[in-house]
Amino acid sequence: MESYNNLGKLYLTLEEIQKSINCYEKVIEIDPNHIDANNSLEFIRDKQKILSEIEKNKKFKNENKISFIKKIFKKLTKSDLRLNKNPFISHREVEQDLIDCLYKLNNKSFSETNDIFFGNGKHSENFKIFNADNPILKKVEDELTNIMKQAVKSNIFIIDSFFNILRDDKAGGSKWHNHITDWDKKHDLISQKYSLTYHVDIGNQKSTLPGILNFKNPKYSILPSRGMVMIFPANRYHSAIYNGEKDRIMLGVNFYSLN
Beta-strand ranges (E) seen in 54-133 are 88-91, 107-109, 117-118, 121-124
DSSP tag of 256: E
Helix, strand, coil shares, percent, the chain, to 5: 40, 25, 30
Q: With the C-alpha atoms ordered 196, 201, 224, 140, is the resulting torsion angle positive or negative?
A: positive
Q: Are 178 and 236 in contact (CB under 8 A)?
A: yes
Domains identified in the chain and CATH numbers: 2-68 (1.25.40.10), 84-257 (2.60.120.620)
| pLDDT score for 119 | 95
Q: What is the pLDDT along the chain (259 residues), one digit of tens a residue?
A: 788 788 888 877 777 888 888 888 888 888 888 878 888 888 788 888 888 888 887 766 565 554 444 444 444 444 445 675 579 999 999 999 999 999 999 999 998 887 899 999 999 998 999 999 999 999 999 999 999 999 999 999 999 999 999 999 999 999 999 999 999 998 999 999 999 999 999 999 999 999 999 999 889 999 999 999 999 999 999 999 999 999 999 999 999 999 8
- Measured between alpha carbons, how far is 247 from 88 in angstroms, rounded to an integer? 25
- Measured between alpha carbons, how far is 216 from 183 in angstroms, rounded to an integer? 23
Dihedrals phi, psi of 14, to nearest 5 degrees = -85, 0
Q: Are 253 and 160 in contact (CB under 8 A)?
A: yes
